[in-house]
């Protein structure tokens, strides 16, 4: 300690005597190799990103390319089939799973943005609400500007991405590319001591089509000969190459020990490395594949699959073609970094009417080489040119293009530009859409309207992926307004008529309606009243309604998809039902609801009971009534196999065991309000549990709604007061399949006070659904123990698509005679998602990465306010000397061993060393899950937090003898530092001794 005290005194004197130095003007920022990323992917949750494992492995091994991943959330809101961690603890575990999946491909940089993973939904606007849209984009932009990626890959931004988190992650690709190159966006990142520079991503693969004919999956350069069926250039990479990973002796696949695994094998093993998400260890042998990516935006010359003369382009079929013009020189010969891209005065164009096309060129340095620039347009179209390219740093050269008078409408048309210098050539292309002169579209609403607005206002280039589809729902026997917006795209005034073609069991107030003269660029709305005349729910709940719009000289059309949803009137009872698991006389006088329709998981429906019916035709049903200020439910479920019984801590994630979910949209407007289920009440009920203290009876929780979390037992969060549940199910007492699990199902009786709903119930428009989940034998092959894992058949009263997340697809209920209390609010309270997200400053793996690659934790603002002057291991503890410019929070993590990828499965293979990390089985019983918490499988020796003040401080971390022994060989101090204004810093210090 005396030597340490002397050292401290010397340090203080040295710091006090340091002279101030003037700073030279900083040069433009350039990422060094520790920081630079060549191919960046971006996804919403760990395990969304597995499509690039094999490709990145090939690119890294063969071409020296480094991949990275921006991961917006850590998946804290998902289920956990491997342990009891939830919230931040689950996020830490899922981050490791993702790192394990990618590690062998050389992708070791995963940039977690620390956004909250709240619940499954299909709304990008709801995701923006929870993610703090502007702050998330700021973090994405900082990561891009810091790592300077050339190529960007990820989700489509369209509604076709499904999960609203996926949609928003796709949007962030388009928004991040624009923001990173825009000096007016987040200008604070471009100023000051840690100033970055703007950055132009060169190629974007987000939502592009890979469909086509030709190519192969069995040989290198696997896209050779591919002819895309869509407008997007397709780049591919063969995953049959040998990887550095070797087959261990005794592997169950029977592969020779020491031989190389293919990159596809590595990818498939990585794809399974997510046990928390119900993935099981991969035990198969992979066949080579051809991973393909559809390009949706390019700022550099590239190689098209088909040349302008119609011949195949072999250069586009190379496994490195995706890198051309960006991470590698384009074979056309233009210098790397040359920008060349094509824009148009209008995306939507009318046959026969001219528009402008502009080719943008910029030299990476110096001047452009003089040359010739020529456009190629579709047959029958015309354009002027060619044009000369001047010898200057950049140029924007405009052409006039006139589509053919007979150009087909509602189709994309490709226009390409070839820049030729005599020594080199550069190719680029882009698309426009031909639309009818007058277009009638069903008036978009909710998420569909918001998406089209995003296209128009934020990312017009993404319009090539298509606008939103026309979708609406109607209750059985009800009437719906169908507004059609008529837009004049042409240069002349237009007039005509709009008509609907209705399927059977529908009527309309008028089959056709005229619209008045519309000026160029203007629009008007024509509204129809459509009535459904069904008396019962039809077998096909989705019907098509073609909309035809006429104008002088032609017609336009689109098709509205109309979902027919069930309706019911919930009867009032004279006395409140007794919640005893029985439907006694007079308690449920209303309609019996059929719950036997499958909306997901039909492939796991192994018997008639699983499908909601019995051998005699009796089905899963429900009855609903109301009394006083509460709803009562009697649910009868057919089932032939009793699933895993959940513990109290597992009484969430109802899809992972036998359960019933009751879904209520109090105002019937959650989808219209862009809040999806965040404005609803959803109660997941497990009919039995593994909870001896509660007699192994039912447990319940709220999920993916306005206030999710535990709702029963010792973990009750108070989010569903007054709910009562009675179940007739009796747990068999074991989760072992050696004990018989056969039964015929169960009955549930449930009381839900209407005061528990997030707003007053609208008695004329209550959204309602009831969805049984059926899980059967979920034991892993070769074992006899059931697992808490999703293998469910999902049934419901209204059973259309992703019905659990779409309130507009739920049934419609009325409450005759009911009036809510006058003081009950009609606007739902802000949603409470219960589980917070993990702060990256609390993740040892994130801290270690930030210290290594210099990208600030979570993409936040960096600081260098803290210096670690000394960190040393001594008997009984670790001593630190720090120097801080101001107050802040230091979080220290003492770790040992390899932290970058901690194994997620156990294996009996004795020769499966890093970097394989136990992903190969040597017995059918392999694939167990090693302990994780609370010490990250033994890698986390100690953690602590300390508030630091300005100046030099000497502080210590006490250690037990066992902890000190663990740290002696390769102990590290990982330390994150956060200032009061949320700036961050990361350290990875090898402990001195």
- The burial of 469, by beta-carbon neighbours within 10 Å (0-12 exposed, 13-18 middle, 19 or more buried), is given as middle
Structure-block tokens of residue 920 = 């190969």
Asked if residue 425 has pLDDT above 80, the reply is yes
Do the beta carbons of residue 262 and residue 314 sit within 8 Å?
Answer: no
CB 472 within 8 A of CB 447: no
Of residues 297, 277, 215, the one with CA closest to residue 75: 277
Q: Tell me, what DSSP letter sits at residue 352?
A: T
Q: What strands, in cross-sheet order, belong to the sheet with 411-420?
A: 348-350, 425-435, 411-420, 371-376, 387-389
Q: How far apart are CA 918 and CA 903, in angstroms?
A: 6
Q: Rounded distance, CA 239 to CA 290, Å? A: 6
Residues 496, 490: Cα–Cα separation, whole Å: 14
The dihedrals phi and psi of 866, each to the nearest 5 degrees, come to: -115, 140
Helices (H) and strands (E) in the chain, counts: 10, 52
* Predicted local distance difference test score (pLDDT) of residue 783: 85
Reported confidence tier of residue 14, pLDDT bands at 50, 70, 90: very low
pLDDT digits (tens, 9 = 90+) for 928-954: 999 999 999 999 999 999 999 999 999
Both tokens assigned to 592: 């019996």
The pLDDT score that the predictor gives to residue 834 is 78
pLDDT of residue 912: 65
- The answer to whether 552 and 495 are in contact (CB under 8 A) is yes
Could you tell me what percentage of the chain is helix, strand and coil, using 3-state DSSP and rounding each to the nearest 5?
A: 20, 35, 50
Bigger pLDDT: 319 vs 607: 319
Rounded distance between C-alpha atoms, residue 891 and residue 977, angstroms:
6
- C-alpha Rg value of the chain to the nearest Å: 31
Q: How far apart are CA 159 and CA 171, in angstroms?
A: 10
**Tens digit of pLDDT for each residue in 219-252?**
999 999 999 999 999 999 999 999 999 999 999 9
288-300 pLDDT, tens digit per residue, is: 999 999 999 999 9
Supply the DSSP symbol for 810: S
Binning pLDDT at 50, 70 and 90, where does residue 124 land? very high
User: Beta partners for 525?
Assistant: 485
CA–CA gap between residue 404 and residue 811 (Å, rounded): 48
Does the pLDDT at position 256 exceed 80?
A: yes
- Confidence (pTM): 0.94
With tokens 């008997």, the residue in question is 875
Q: Which residues make Cβ contacts (< 8 Å) with residue 539, sequence separation at least 6? A: none
**Span 357-378, pLDDT tens digits:** 999 999 999 999 999 999 999 9
Check if the beta carbon of residue 49 is closer than 8 Å to that of residue 152.
no
| pLDDT of residue 174 exceeding 70 | yes
Residue 497, beta-bridge partner list:
514
What pLDDT is stored for residue 1 in this prediction? 44
Q: Which residue in 26, 151, 153, 140 sits closest to 73, CA to CA? A: 140
> Using CB atoms within 10 A of its CB, is residue 311 exposed (0-12), middle (13-18) or buried (19+)?
exposed
Of 12-26, 169-183, 562-576, 740-754, which gets the smallest average pLDDT?
12-26
pLDDT band for position 13 (50/70/90)?
Answer: very low
On the CB side of 730, CA atoms within 13 Å amount to 2
- Structure-block tokens of residue 532: 């459904």
Contact 177, 152 (CB under 8 A): yes
> Which residues share a beta bridge with 501?
none
Using omega within 30 degrees of 0 as the cis cutoff, is the peptide bond preceding 386 cis? yes
Q: What's phi and psi for 888, nearest 5 deg? A: 180, 175
Q: Tell me the Ramachandran region of residue 897: left when phi exceeds 0, alpha when psi lies from -120 to 50, beta otherwise.
A: left
* Model pLDDT, residue 319: 98
As a whole number of angstroms, the distance between CA 769 and CA 812 comes to: 8
How is residue 385 written in tokens? 């040119």
Residue 179: its pLDDT value, please? 98
> C-alpha distances in angstroms, 81 versus 604, 646, 654, 815?
18, 11, 12, 39
Lowest-confidence pick of 386-400, 434-448, 595-609: 595-609
The pLDDT of residue 604 is: 83
312 and 225 Cβ atoms separated by less than 8 Å: yes
The angle, 0 to 180 degrees and rounded to 10, between the axes of the packed helices 124-131 and 164-181 is 70
Q: What is the DSSP string of 398-450?
A: EEEEE--TTPPSSEEEEEEEEEE-SS-EEEEEEEEEEE-SEEEEE---HHHHH
Beta bridge partners of 396: 360
Beta-bridge partners for 992: 872
- Give mean pLDDT, residues 978-982: 97
Give the range among 17-21, 46-50, 88-92 with minimum mean pLDDT: 17-21
Cα separation, 317 vs 215, whole angstroms: 8
SS3 43: strand
Q: How much of the chain, in percent, has pLDDT values that exceed 90?
A: 89
**Bond before 934 cis per omega within 30 degrees:** yes
> For residue range 700-728, what is the model confidence (pLDDT) as tens digits?
999 999 999 999 999 999 999 999 999 99
Which one has a higher pLDDT value, 431 or 87? 431
- Helix, strand or coil, per DSSP, at residue 715: helix
Cα distance between residue 595 and residue 793, in whole Å: 12
722: left (phi over 0), alpha (psi -120 to 50) or beta: left
Sheet containing 203-206: give its strands across.
109-115, 67-73, 39-43, 151-154, 203-206, 297-298
Residue 917, pLDDT score: 67
Q: What is the spatial distance between Cα 709 and Cα 834, in angstroms, rounded to a whole number?
A: 6
Per-residue pLDDT at 9 exceeds 80: no
Residue 116 pLDDT greater than 50, yes or no:
yes
- What integer best gives the mean pLDDT of the chain? 94
Q: Which residues contact 336 (CB under 8 A, 6 or more apart)?
A: 325, 328, 329, 330, 364
Residue 640's CB: how many other CB atoms inside 10 A?
18
Would you state the pLDDT for residue 123? 94
Helix (H) or strand (E) holding 4: helix 2-16
* Mean pLDDT of the region 668-681: 96
Range of weakest confidence among 5-9, 290-294, 305-309: 5-9
Please determine, for residue 21, whether its predicted confidence score (pLDDT) is greater than 50.
no
What whole-number distance in Å separates Cα of residue 111 and Cα of residue 116?
Answer: 15
pLDDT of 2 over the 70 cut: no
Give me the pLDDT at residue 295, please: 98
pLDDT digits (tens, 9 = 90+) for 270-288: 999 999 998 999 999 999 9
Beta strand pairing call for 877-884 and 592-594? unpaired
């Amino acid at each position: 300690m005396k030597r340490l005290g002397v050292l401290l005194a010397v340090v203080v004197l040295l710091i006090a005597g340091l002279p101030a130095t003037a700073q030279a003007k900083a040069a433009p920022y350039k990422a060094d190799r520790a920081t630079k990323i060549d191919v960046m992917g971006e996804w919403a949750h760990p395990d969304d990103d597995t499509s690039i494992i094999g490709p990145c492995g090939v690119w890294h091994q063969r071409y020296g390319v480094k991949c990275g991943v921006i991961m917006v959330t850590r998946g804290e809101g998902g289920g956990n089939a491997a342990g009891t961690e939830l919230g931040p603890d689950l996020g830490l575990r899922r981050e490791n799973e993702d790192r394990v999946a990618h590690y062998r491909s050389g992708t070791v940089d995963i940039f977690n943005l620390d956004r909250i993973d709240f619940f499954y939904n299909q709304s990008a606007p709801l995701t923006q609400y929870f993610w703090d849209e502007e702050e998330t984009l700021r973090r994405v932009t900082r990561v891009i500007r810091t790592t300077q990626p050339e190529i960007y890959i990820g989700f489509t931004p369209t509604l076709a991405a499904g999960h609203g988190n996926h949609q928003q992650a796709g949007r962030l690709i388009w928004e991040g590319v624009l923001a990173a190159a825009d000096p007016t966006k987040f200008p604070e990142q471009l100023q000051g001591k840690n100033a970055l520079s703007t950055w132009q991503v060169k190629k974007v693969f987000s939502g592009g089509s890979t469909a086509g004919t030709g190519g192969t999956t069995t040989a290198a350069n696997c896209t050779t000969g591919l002819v895309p069926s869509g407008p997007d250039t397709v780049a591919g990479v063969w995953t049959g190459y040998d990887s550095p990973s070797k087959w261990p002796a005794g592997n169950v696949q029977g592969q020779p020990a020491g031989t190389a695994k293919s990159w596809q094998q590595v990818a498939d093993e990585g794809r399974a490395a997510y046990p928390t998400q119900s993935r099981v260890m991969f035990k198969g042998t992979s066949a080579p594949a051809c991973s393909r990516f559809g390009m949706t935006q390019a700022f550099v010359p590239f190689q098209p699959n088909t040349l302008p003369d119609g011949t195949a382009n072999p250069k586009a079929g190379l496994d490195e073609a995706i890198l051309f013009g960006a991470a590698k020189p384009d074979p056309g010969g233009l210098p790397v970094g040359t920008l060349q891209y094509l824009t148009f005065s209008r995306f939507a164009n009318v046959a026969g009417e001219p528009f402008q096309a502009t080719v943008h060129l910029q030299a990476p340095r110096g001047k452009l080489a003089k040359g010739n620039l020529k456009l190629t347009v579709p047959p029958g179209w015309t354009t002027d040119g060619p044009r000369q390219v001047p010898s200057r740093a950049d140029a924007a050269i405009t052409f006039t293009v006139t589509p053919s008078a007979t150009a087909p409408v509602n189709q994309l048309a490709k226009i390409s530009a070839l820049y030729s210098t005599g020594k080199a050539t550069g190719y680029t292309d882009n698309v426009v859409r031909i639309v009818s002169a007058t277009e009638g579209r069903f008036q978009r609403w909710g998420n569909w309207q918001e998406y089209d607005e995003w296209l128009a206002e934020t990312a017009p280039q993404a319009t090539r992926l298509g606008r939103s589809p026309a979708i609406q729902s109607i209750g059985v026997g009800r009437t719906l307004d169908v507004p059609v917006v008529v837009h004049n795209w042409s240069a002349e005034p237009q007039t005509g008529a709009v008509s609907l073609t209705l399927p059977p069991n529908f009527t309309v107030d008028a089959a056709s309606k005229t619209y008045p003269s519309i000026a160029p660029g203007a629009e008007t709305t024509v509204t129809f009243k459509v009535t459904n005349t069904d008396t019962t729910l039809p077998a096909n709940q989705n019907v098509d309604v073609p909309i035809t719009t006429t104008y002088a000289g032609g017609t336009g059309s689109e098709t509205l998809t109309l979902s027919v949803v069930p309706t019911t009137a919930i009867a009032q009872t004279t006395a409140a039902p007794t919640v005893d698991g029985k439907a006694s006389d007079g308690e449920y006088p209303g309609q019996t609801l059929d719950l036997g329709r499958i909306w997901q998981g039909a492939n796991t429906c192994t018997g008639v009971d699983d499908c909601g019916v019995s051998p005699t035709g009796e089905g899963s049903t429900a009855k609903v009534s109301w009394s006083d200020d509460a709803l009562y439910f009697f649910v009868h479920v057919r089932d032939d196999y009793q699933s895993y019984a959940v513990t109290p801590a597992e009484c969430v994630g109802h899809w992972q065991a036998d359960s019933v979910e009751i879904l209520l949209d109090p105002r019937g407007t959650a989808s219209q309000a862009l809040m999806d289920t965040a404005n609803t009440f959803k109660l997941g009920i497990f009919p039995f549990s593994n909870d001896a203290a509660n007699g192994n009876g039912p447990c319940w929780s709220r999920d993916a709604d306005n206030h999710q979390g535990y709702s029963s037992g010792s973990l009750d969060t108070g989010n569903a007061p007054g709910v009562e549940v009675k179940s007739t199910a009796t747990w068999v007492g074991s989760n072992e399949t050696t004990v018989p699990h056969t039964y015929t199902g169960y009955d549930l009786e449930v009381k839900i006070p209407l005061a528990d709903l997030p707003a007053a119930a609208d008695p004329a428009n209550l959204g309602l659904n009831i969805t049984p989940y059926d899980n059967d034998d979920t034991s892993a092959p070769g074992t006899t123990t059931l697992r808490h894992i999703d293998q469910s058949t999902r049934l419901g009263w209204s059973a259309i698509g992703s019905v659990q997340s779409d309130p507009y697809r739920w049934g419609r209920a009325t409450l005759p005679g009911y009036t809510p209390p006058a003081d009950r609010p009609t606007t739902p309270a802000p949603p409470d998602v219960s589980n917070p997200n993990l702060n990256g400053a609390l993740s040892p793996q994130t801290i270690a990465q930030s210290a290594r690659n210099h990208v600030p934790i979570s993409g936040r603002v960096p600081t260098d306010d803290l210096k670690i002057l000394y960190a040393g291991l001594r008997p009984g503890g670790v001593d630190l000397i720090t120097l801080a410019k101001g107050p802040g929070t230091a979080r220290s993590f003492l770790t040992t061993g390899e932290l970058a990828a901690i194994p997620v499965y156990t294996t009996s293979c004795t020769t499966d060393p890093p970097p394989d990390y136990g992903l190969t089985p040597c017995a059918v019983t392999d694939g167990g899950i090693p302990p994780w918490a609370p010490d990250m499988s033994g890698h986390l020796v100690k953690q602590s937090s300390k508030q630091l003040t300005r100046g030099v401080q000497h502080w210590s971390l006490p250690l037990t003898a066992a902890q000190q022994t663990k740290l002696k060989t390769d102990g590290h101090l990982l330390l994150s530092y956060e200032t009061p204004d949320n700036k961050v810093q990361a350290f990875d210090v090898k402990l001195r001794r």
